[in-house]
Structure 1
Amino acid sequence: MNVALPTPADTDRLGRQLAQALAVHAQGAVVTLAGELGAGKTALARATIQALGHTGPVVSPSYTLIEPYDLPGRRLHHLDLYRLGDPEELEFLGIRDICIEADLVLVEWADRGAGFLPAPDIDITLEYRGEGRSAHLQAHSAAGRRVVATLYEFRSRT
């Protein structure tokens, strides 16, 4: 599924819709966010986390690598692996303590954690498109397919 994101408000809208679809179709899910620096990965994660019910600030986990959020009825882990020196470092950060059956996981720069991250349910790749951005969503599980199908329905209504 491809989504045009001509403005930052469109990225926020996709994040809110992603949150709605995840809330309905995936108690636990792994969503990877790929793209160049500045392509909107953290902005999309922030909009999703806020739409899932987090009321405080959403900080980029660029330095901490993992930021946990206690949300109504679930826990979310936002990972930014850009500064990860070696994928094995995820073991020391407690990656095995994340319950992927019950927790939502948003991972920026997932390729840097290859071999230590759980398989993604959805990959989202953000790219520059002229003055704006675009997002390509690819599902890899039944839950991921339900989420992407719901996003498609949301997008086709507007």
Structure 2
Amino acid sequence: MHSPDDNQSVFRLHLQDAKATVRVGGALAPLLTPGMVVALDGDLGAGKTTLVRALLRSCGHSGPVKSPTYALVEIYVISRIYFYHFDFYRFNFPEEFLDAGLGEYFRDDAVCLVEWPENAAGYMPAADLLLRLRFALQARELEIVACSEEGRECLKALRNGWSRAAG
């Protein structure tokens, strides 16, 4: 289900179905810490919201999790930690990030999960982790890229836990 990578800042997984995506979300959720920014990249229907839903449910959220395409941000408070789920799909220009006042959500006491981050390029704070979802026949390929030291620590823990679970 995964392929080792010489670069310790990248971890690739083959996700056979939605259940596999949920398992990854469950494994990643306890590793996220306040202040982290997680960017999700992928085409429409690639599984970005499914992965966010799994992350939030694994953190303890029991209510609905919907795509914030029209609202721009959905807010969840779980164990006194704020999780902000953004979707910048509808941005026509990156400056809309500033116009909407979204910078105030990127705080040290919150985890920010961002779909379509490229639509706010140059304005959104840098991601700690980049999750790239791609279609692969009937499955998905997930590439997790650590973009900061905190992201590398998170990725290392995920890789170690995944190897133990698989072995």
Report the TM-score range of the alignment, normalised by the length of the smaller protein: over 0.9
Partner of 2:152: 145
After superposition, the Cα gap between the structure-2 partners of 1:20 and 1:134, relative to the gap in structure 1 and judged at 3 Å, is: same
Q: 1:60 aligns with which of 67, 74, 91?
A: 67
Partner of 1:13: 23
- The count of corresponding residues between Structure 1 and Structure 2 is 155
Please state how far the C-alpha of 1:40 moved relative to its aligned partner. Answer: 0.5
Report the Cα distance in structure 2 between the residues aligned to 1:42 and 1:110, rounded to whole angstroms: 14
Partner of 1:110: 117
- 1:54-108 deviation digits (Å, cap 9, x = unpaired): 1211111011111111111310110111111222222233212114322100111
**Where do residues 114-133 of structure 1 align in structure 2 (5 Å cutoff)?**
114-133=121-140
Amino acid at match of 2:164: R
Identical pairs, percent: 37
Partner of 1:50: 57
Amino acid at match of 2:109: A
Runs (4+) of structure 1 moved beyond 6 Å? Answer: none
Q: Does 1:155 align with 2:162?
A: yes
Q: Contact 1:32/1:123 (CA < 8 Å) preserved in 2? A: yes
Q: Contact 2:22/2:50 (CA < 8 Å) preserved in 1? A: yes
Q: Contact 2:128/2:146 (CA < 8 Å) preserved in 1? A: yes
Provide the TM-score with structure 2 as the length reference. Answer: 0.88
Unaligned runs of 5+ in 2: 1-10
Q: Does 1:89 align with 2:99?
A: no
Amino acid at match of 2:72: L
Q: Contact 1:33/1:124 (CA < 8 Å) preserved in 2? A: yes
Provide the TM-score with structure 1 as the length reference. Answer: 0.93
Q: Contact 1:4/1:135 (CA < 8 Å) preserved in 2? A: yes
Q: Contact 1:30/1:100 (CA < 8 Å) preserved in 2? A: no
Partner of 1:2: 12
Q: Contact 2:38/2:131 (CA < 8 Å) preserved in 1? A: yes
Query: Superposition RMSD on alpha carbons, in Å?
Result: 1.1
